């Protein structure tokens, strides 16, 4: 190959990598976690990456990135920060879904297209907390298996020589069009050129087993909206809860009863006047039994700790 052709080939390669990175980059997030030990309110215990796949704040990452977290903080590419709620996690496949209280977010396209050994892939993540980083390589092999440190095996993995460093775990592996073909999940210590990702099809199958997470409009009497969510086992145990699901708050209307009662995004509502609620529909049914200006007691979780607040309801015409 002549020097001119070498330059042309490198330029074409760089153009593909640049295009893919620019397309997916705005949807890649940094994830910081504070573990459940307590006592260090603003401490950072762990970090990883993730990717937004729906405009209303649904994020894919690894289960091990958020395992045992008391607080999950998501930092967007534009610098905004949100506390996130855990919708669900599958330790066997190392896939987790988070939700943040935001709208109209940049999203990545999830691709289930067949992969070929040798095709170009790009990994985007946040290695070592240094900021967003792009690495490239090829699909080295398909259908790989690795021991899962949490038991069993990780199966059907994509093997790639694109460098995947600590902190990038949970970020997207994309094709030359910036479409997400996998979620980076593992590196092999002391080995060079061995990175692995769970295929997008695996991630989608895992998401399908989580509780449906469609946003519900704000309840007119409370002025908040949310979705049913799973509560982490350690939170259930620590608070001796009789339920494993609650309502993750994703929206609070300004000057609403919920806002005046100091409820916050990502709080999880557990009960109305001591009666358990697990879905927005259940909460709405119980709230409808009260009249305008009556007060109700809401049990809820904030950062893994059970709390209670009294809320004075709006009139039905104010919703």
Catalytic residue among 94, 175, 267, 271: 94
Query: What is the Cα–Cα distance from 121 to 136, expressed in whole angstroms?
Result: 6
Query: What is the Cα–Cα distance from 152 to 92, expressed in whole angstroms?
Result: 7
64 part of the active site: yes
Catalytic residue among 169, 256, 267, 271: 169
Query: What is the Cα–Cα distance from 64 to 288, expressed in whole angstroms?
Result: 40
Residue 94 region, left (φ>0) first, then alpha (ψ -120 to 50), else beta? Answer: left
Residue 5, Cβ density class (10 Å: 0-12 exposed, 13-18 middle, ≥19 buried): exposed
Residue spans of alpha helices (H) in 51-135: 63-66
Count of helices and strands (H, E) across the chain: 6, 19
175 part of the active site: no
Query: What is the Cα–Cα distance from 174 to 168, expressed in whole angstroms?
Result: 13
Query: What is the Cα–Cα distance from 275 to 270, expressed in whole angstroms?
Result: 8
Query: What is the Cα–Cα distance from 126 to 176, expressed in whole angstroms?
Result: 20
Q: Which residue has the tokens 């796949």?
A: 53
Both tokens assigned to 67: 């395992």
Both tokens assigned to 16: 């593909």
Number of Cβ within 10 Å of residue 285's Cβ equals: 12
Query: What is the Cα–Cα distance from 118 to 120, expressed in whole angstroms?
Result: 7
Catalytic residue among 49, 56, 64, 175: 64
94 part of the active site: yes
Query: What is the Cα–Cα distance from 126 to 233, expressed in whole angstroms?
Result: 28
Catalytic residues, by residue number, are: 64, 94, 169
């Amino acid at each position: 190959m002549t020097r001119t052709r070498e330059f042309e080939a490198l330029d074409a390669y760089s153009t593909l990598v640049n295009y893919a990175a620019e397309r997916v980059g705005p949807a890649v997030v940094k994830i910081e976690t504070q573990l459940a030990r307590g006592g260090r309110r603003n401490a950072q215990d762990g970090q990883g990456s993730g990717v937004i796949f729906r405009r209303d704040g649904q994020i894919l990452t690894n289960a091990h990135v958020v395992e045992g977290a008391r607080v999950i903080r998501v930092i967007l590419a534009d610098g905004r920060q949100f506390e996130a709620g855990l919708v669900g996690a599958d330790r066997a496949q190392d896939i987790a879904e988070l939700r943040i209280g935001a709208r109209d977010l940049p999203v990545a396209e999830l691709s289930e297209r067949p992969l070929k050994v040798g095709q170009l892939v790009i990994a985007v993540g946040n290695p070592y907390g240094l900021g967003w980083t792009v690495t490239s390589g090829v699909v080295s092999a398909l259908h790989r298996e690795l021991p899962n440190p949490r038991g069993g095996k990780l199966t059907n993995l994509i093997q790639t020589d694109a460098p995947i460093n600590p902190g990038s775990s949970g970020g997207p592996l994309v094709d030359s069009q910036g479409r997400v073909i996998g979620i980076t999940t593992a590196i092999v210590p002391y080995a060079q050129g061995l990175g692995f990702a769970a295929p997008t099809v695996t991630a989608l199958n895992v998401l399908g087993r989580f509780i449906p997470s469609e946003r519900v409009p704000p309840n007119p009497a409370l002025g908040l909206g949310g979705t049913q969510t799973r509560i982490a086992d350690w939170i259930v145990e620590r608070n001796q809860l009789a339920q494993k699901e609650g309502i993750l708050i994703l929206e609070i209307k300004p000057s609403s009863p919920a806002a005046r009662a100091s409820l916050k995004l990502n709080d999880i509502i557990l009960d109305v006047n001591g009666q358990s609620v697990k879905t927005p529909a259940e909460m709405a049914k119980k709230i409808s039994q009260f009249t305008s200006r009556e007060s109700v007691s809401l049990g809820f979780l904030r950062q893994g700790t059970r709390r209670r607040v009294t809320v004075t309801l709006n009139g039905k015409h104010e919703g």
